[in-house]
Copies of this chain bind each other. A is one copy, B any other.
Amino acid sequence: MKLEEAKEKFIQAWGTFGSNWGINRTMAQVHALLLVSADPLSAEDIMEALNISRGNTNMNVRALIDWGLVFKEFQSGERKEFFTAEKDIWQVFKQIAKERRKRELEPVFKVLNEVSRVEGDTESKEMKAFNEAIQGIHNFASKADGTLDKLIKADENWFFNAFIKLMK
């Protein structure tokens, strides 16, 4: 397989993978393109490589910068902006975990707290089932939140070694 073909294949695959995880396909593809590029790319380079419009390129690059996965670079003598991706996958993973924790776990807690103040006959079967379900989710979400927090602060080896060590 030729390099160009391999890049293309990887970019496609990364796009599909991303869209399974609520990340838009193009955003994941831009990320993949930057991941496998030796040098920083300009908006034009990205447009051309992925066959997408200028607006689309801009939107997705901005989003990636928001997520902390892509950085602007300035090239001396060039007026336009260039972009590079964070290449350490563990950093990428942590960064995504951090963002999603903030964006998604917080709203879940908000709703769980709201609905746990439900009023009525505490003894009814319906009420008991509801409260138990909500409590179970709340409990789990709290633990997951704590775990994620530690994960975000941890380094890669610490994390993976933890499992090996504890299995003994």
Contact = CB atoms under 8 A, between A and B. Distances in A.
Interface of A: 1-3, 5-7, 9-10, 13, 16-17, 19-22, 35-39, 87-90, 93, 100, 104, 107-108, 111-112, 114-115, 117-120, 125-130, 132-134, 136-137, 139-140, 143, 146-147, 150, 158-160, 162-163, 165-167
Copies in the complex: 2
30 contacts: A1-B114, A1-B117, A2-B119, A3-B120, A3-B130, A6-B115, A6-B118, A9-B114, A10-B111, A10-B115, A13-B108, A13-B111, A16-B107, A17-B107, A19-B22, A20-B100, A36-B130, A37-B129, A38-B125, A38-B126, A38-B129, A38-B130, A39-B125, A90-B140, A143-B160, A147-B163, A150-B167, A158-B166, A162-B162, A165-B166
B3 A118 contact: yes
A82 B114 CA distance: 30
Given A120-B3, A136-B87, A104 B35 contact: no
B118 A1 contact: yes
B133 A160 contact: no
Name the prevailing secondary structure of the A interface residues.
Answer: helix
Contacts of A87: 132-133, 136
Contacts of A134: 10, 36
A9 B115 contact: yes
